[in-house]
Amino acid sequence: MRLNNFSKLALIAGLTVYIGAGSAFADDNFQNLVNKKYFNNQNQKNYVQTRNSKEFNKALKYYENSNYTKAIEMFEQLLRSNKTNVSARVNLGASLITRGTYYHNKKSDYRKAANDYRKAIYYLKYDEGIQNKPQIRDNLKIAEKNLKNSLKRQEIELTPSSRFKTAKKLRGQGNFHEAVVEYHAALASDEFKLPSLEALGDMMRVLQNNNKAIEYYSNAAKNPAASGQLHLKLARVLYKTGKIDKAISEYNKALADDSTKDEVISSLEGIWRTRISKNPDNPVAHMNLGVILQKKGDFASAKREYEIAGKLDPSSTKVRLNLATLYQEQGNHRMALQAYDSILKVNPRDPLVHYYKGTAFRKLGNKKGAIKQFKIVLGIDPTSNMAKTALYETVKELNPKDTISVLHDFAVKNPNNAKDQYNYAFELHSRKMNDKALFYYQKALTLNPKLIDAYLNISSIYKDASRYPESIAVLNQGLVANPGNEKIKRMLKDVDEDATIRRYEQAIKKHNLGDYKGAIEDYKVILNVSKSNPDVYMSLGAAYQAAKEYNKAIESYQKASELDKKNAMPYYYMGTIHYAQKHYDKADSMYKKARSMDPANENIKQAINILNTTRADDLMQKGLAAFNAKNYQKAINLLTSAAGYDSKNGYIFYYRGMTYDALQKFKLAIIDYKKTVSLLKNLNIAYYALALNYDSLKNTVEAKKAYQIFLQKSGSKEDEYVKYAKTRLKELEN
């Protein structure tokens, strides 16, 4: 299928417009596409500004001579130096679209075509500095339509799941601009929204687009499932861009994650110490430093900071509250109670102080006093979950019979709180008051369809009453709301064992709903009757594979292959199992067997490509570890093996070049760095490394060339590498 939607492909500085009829690019006139130029008032100013640009005119010349790769490189350079350069952006998009269409129509290389369309979409839609111009909008529509066509030619589905997998693959290959587009497509599904937003933030940081990184990380951080690591990433980039107060907020959120605690504490301690050094009389800074030192376990220093803050701001109840929690954390509950009371004299309705006072009473064994404080909290804030939990647990310790009345009060006073409805239902269930429990479980699910335990407990009530269809139905509802949940699937199997439903009729249905274990049992029953059916063995193998019972899955696939010797798919699926288990040699053997039986199968081809890429990445990471351990020969051996699996991964050659550098084998390093820049044209540091190696070999001519390319690609960037390159280039020219 030829692409034929180029009637509006626009360029500025002509303004050049493609006028096409029928196919976008006919074979006999491909080199004569640029056939009409015109100007308009809207772009006159832009034209005047760009006309005198030597680089811009040179890029246009490359484009007109069909040297699209050179044109793309130069337009990218222009855009890096000025993100608001509409002319460079429009022409860069047009160049990428045109080259992509060349790959699509002339070379049938749909993968390269898709990547060019993706990159065009990035520059026309997701980059910084994009302005709302007709030429940008027109070219964007073309790129998006052509990308869909190229994906169809590769038999890549347009579902969010497929786009997410493609995005991960592109990111792993270092194609960040292209991956951005695919991750955006995956955002259409809630399932992939959080990981996609986080990945987009990660890549924008790599692309030094910090404002965009903040935007993506911030949107991801709004998700309740956002990890401490995500909040930490957002804090880092906020701090880097000078948004210190916002960074502090994110660092505080990251504190809840033990995996980030040490770095967060260190960062926050540094921030507050810096603020104190600038303003020693800042009570807030002293108080917050005390909080961090308390979390760090340095209680003496924390107390000192709280005392300083208290002297600077004697009226601060926050300082006294923090000092009280410090006493409590040290086990001095009576001193803590005195501090809490001093605060309550000033603000008798502070719910947090009453809560901490209740916890102090509880530690001292005064459960009635604790219950009173927790009830005061709930009188002020009926939604306080920590007060509800503390009150329930304290009442249960004091008099277990009273717990049901406490939970009933929570449910009645908070009718829109799913957790309160569930907790009351569970207590009723535990007391075998099942009809009433069902009512409150259902009420909880109405408020929150994600409550897995509510589905399980309702199913259990129906199962105990031998109401199997209802028990299975509610579990299936749970799977719709919580796809793939293992607890629900296990419960389905238990219910099915007690039921008398015909297994053959249910097998396919259960499989499709995700009840793999239940489906396996049905398939086994079917095979007792029809032992020579290869399709059932394939289904059984698929069910085992989904349930991660890989050895049994392989046995089923092997049986299927024995019964149908012309079917390549059993070997393909056995390959996927070995791949999942990182048994790469076995996976390779299975995939090659499948390919020999079905050479045209694109899934098999793609699986082999992914396997090779994975093996290369694995070896590359091991090579990097060896490099960091200064085991250079081992690093070279590993990286050389990686290149054998993926010769298109420029980072492998870059890291091997670094290793040769460490061994002072500059000629070999130069070979690898040259390979790197041929594969990763935007990895500017490789040109710098290339220049240093030529310099070390006293090859002045090549060193100067490499330094010049490095500086040209660096644009307006100023760092230690750029400064050295400029200085050294002047020395070499003299």
Quote the distance between the C-alpha of residue 502 and its chain's center. Answer: 43
Quote the distance between the C-alpha of residue 100 and its chain's center. Answer: 28
What are the Cα distances from residue 235, in Å, to 209, 262, 288, 336, 638?
15, 14, 17, 33, 36
Residue with tokens 């002339």: 106
Query: Quick one: pLDDT at residue 469?
Result: 80
Q: Left (φ > 0), alpha (ψ -120 to 50) or beta: where does 2 sit?
A: beta
Query: Quick one: pLDDT at residue 32?
Result: 30
For 37, the 3-state DSSP assignment is strand
Looking only at Cα atoms, what is the longest distance across the chain? Answer: 94
477 exposure class (CB count in 10 Å sphere: 0-12, 13-18, 19+) = middle
Separation of alpha carbons 482 and 489, rounded Å: 11
What are the Cα distances from residue 399, in Å, to 15, 370, 396, 482, 644?
84, 14, 5, 37, 71
Amino acid found at 652: I
Domains and CATH numbers, the chain: 507-600 (1.25.40.10), 612-733 (1.25.40.10)
Quote the distance between the C-alpha of residue 475 and its chain's center. Answer: 30
Minimal CA–CA distance to 553: which of 572, 566, 567? 572
Separation of alpha carbons 336 and 321, rounded Å: 9
DSSP 405-450: HHHHHHHHH-TT-HHHHHHHHHHHHHTT-HHHHHHHHHHHHHH-TT
CB 672 within 8 A of CB 660: yes
- The neighbour count for residue 731, using CB atoms within 10 Å, is 10
Query: Quick one: pLDDT at residue 122?
Result: 95
Q: Could you give the count of Cα atoms lying within 13 Å of 667 in the half-sphere of its Cβ?
A: 0
Query: Quick one: pLDDT at residue 210?
Result: 92
Separation of alpha carbons 264 and 256, rounded Å: 10
Separation of alpha carbons 384 and 100, rounded Å: 57
Separation of alpha carbons 360 and 579, rounded Å: 55
Alpha helices in 258-364 (DSSP H): 261-278, 283-296, 299-312, 317-329, 333-346, 351-363
- The neighbour count for residue 651, using CB atoms within 10 Å, is 21
Beta bridge partners, 37, equal 16
DSSP 255-272: TTSGGGHHHHHHHHHHHH
Residue with tokens 């310790």: 397
CB 85 within 8 A of CB 79: yes
Phi/psi at 6 (nearest 5 deg)?
Answer: -105, 20
Query: Quick one: pLDDT at residue 400?
Result: 80
Separation of alpha carbons 84 and 36, rounded Å: 26
Query: Quick one: pLDDT at residue 477?
Result: 94
CB 283 within 8 A of CB 313: yes
DSSP 436-496: HHHHHHHHHHHH-TT-HHHHHHHHHHHHHTT-HHHHHHHHHHHHHHSTT-HHHHHHHHHHH
Name the DSSP class of 366.
-
Q: Could you give the count of Cα atoms lying within 13 Å of 176 in the half-sphere of its Cβ?
A: 17
Query: Quick one: pLDDT at residue 5?
Result: 42
Could you tell me the sign of the dihedral formed by the alpha carbons of 544, 550, 552, 554, in that order?
positive
Q: Could you give the count of Cα atoms lying within 13 Å of 262 in the half-sphere of its Cβ?
A: 1
Residue with tokens 């290339």: 690
Instruction: Give the predicted TM-score (pTM) of the model.
Output: 0.52
Minimal CA–CA distance to 654: which of 626, 609, 684? 684
Amino acid found at 490: R
H-run or E-run covering 153: helix 134-153
For 159, the 3-state DSSP assignment is coil
Query: Quick one: pLDDT at residue 18?
Result: 28
Separation of alpha carbons 608 and 587, rounded Å: 9
Beta bridge partners, 16, equal 37
Beta bridge partners, 17, equal 10
Q: Which residues of the chain have pLDDT under 70?
A: 1-52, 496-505, 526, 529-531
H-run or E-run covering 721: helix 720-733
For residue 565, what are its two tokens? 């010797």
Degrees (nearest 5) of the Cα angle 415, 416, 418?
100
For 384, the 3-state DSSP assignment is coil
Tens-place pLDDT, residues 99-143? 999 999 999 999 999 999 999 999 999 998 899 999 999 999 999
Separation of alpha carbons 444 and 450, rounded Å: 10
Separation of alpha carbons 296 and 303, rounded Å: 12
- What CA dihedral angle connects 392, 398, 404 and 410, to 10 degrees? -30
Average per-residue pLDDT in the chain?
86
Which residues, 6 or more positions from 462, have their beta carbon under 8 angstroms from its beta carbon?
468, 470, 471, 474
Quote the distance between the C-alpha of residue 536 and its chain's center. Answer: 37
For residue 28, what are its two tokens? 């006999």
Degrees (nearest 5) of the Cα angle 252, 258, 259?
100
Separation of alpha carbons 272 and 287, rounded Å: 9
Beta bridge partners, 10, equal 17
Separation of alpha carbons 449 and 435, rounded Å: 20
- What CA dihedral angle connects 259, 260, 265 and 270, to 10 degrees? 140
Q: Could you give the count of Cα atoms lying within 13 Å of 663 in the half-sphere of its Cβ?
A: 17
Beta bridge partners, 659, equal none
Separation of alpha carbons 488 and 473, rounded Å: 12
What are the Cα distances from residue 380, in Å, to 171, 350, 377, 542?
50, 8, 5, 55
Separation of alpha carbons 587 and 590, rounded Å: 5
Separation of alpha carbons 501 and 278, rounded Å: 75
